[in-house]
Amino acid sequence: MTQFPREFHIGPVPIRPATVLAPMAGVTDTVFRRLIRDQGGCGLLMTEFTSSHGVVANAQRSNTAKLMRYLYFDPEEHPITAQLFGADPDIMADAARVCQDLGYDAVDINFGCPVKKVVRCNGGSGMLRNLPLVEELLRKVRAAITIPLTMKFRAGWNDHELVHVRMANLAEDCGLQAIALHPRTREQGYSGRADWTRIAEVKAAVKIPVIGNGDIVTPQDAVRMVAETGCDAVMIGRTASSNPWIFREIADYVATGSYRTPSEQDRYELMKTYYGMLADRDDPEAVGKMKQFATYFTHGVRDGSKLRQLIYHAKEAVEIQDLVDSFFHHELAETAA
């Protein structure tokens, strides 16, 4: 049996197993989160990162449809965290209250997003250059809600302005119950290597749970991150979008030392299930989502580029579903022959 934490706690909330789905804009909506939950092995789900200003504005206008576009979740998604971004402490506190009232298990503040339009407004990783504002924001949000408060952050603006240990200490001082570090800098974006030694430095600096994030592609990577850093849990983002089985694979690997990689049949069933869930919601963005996720879900599929091209040129959800059925029926028949 491989060494890996069985669980961890965010305040009074138990997270079993010690794995977290990272918040990803345009990816981790309620349909994708439920897909991940159905595959098994993921302890905590997180929403797409959501504008605190948008949450407050829609709540004040009683615009439930717009508010719930990003914050809707099914009861089966618990435990689940709402992730917010923004730079105004009062607005962030109000947005956190809205999330608490909606029934979220925790609120997470984003100090990691490297996207220019977010950073320009001092949001995401832009806040890493203004630690006094970070402290003010964390203290106001902590005072505004009774559910657990966490944060996800990067190591710093660049390699010459590293603040990961200071941010961790600040979080603990402000009463946060857990933190997640992606150890790249804002300057790196998603390029280069995630320096896991920075996760170890944060773990050594605080007593609250530390969640490690970055460059986990296989179950072996997850176990190695825990072994090398001592982190209390692992968070997985981009890998989960193309391999939604990753959390189950980690659980199997930890329990038995081995895991099964998805077959063509598994990939077919996944696409069929996800596209069916999108179609059932009668979402006007369903076709766009299907095209977006075709890029992720055909990763590793034999002749997957052909299916992607067919889907990209389709106009209707039913047409896309039929294309998926036809493609895999042909592929699976050839494999069986």
Q: Catalytic residue positions?
A: 113
Measure the CA–CA gap between 43 and 204, rounded to whole angstroms.
24
Could you tell me whether strands 80-85 and 106-111 are parallel, antiparallel, or unpaired per DSSP bridges? parallel
Sign of the dihedral defined by the CA atoms of residues 189, 28, 17, 150, in that order: positive
Paired strand residues for 294: none
Cα angle value 180/115/176 (rounded, 5°): 25
* Cα 236 from chain centre: 7
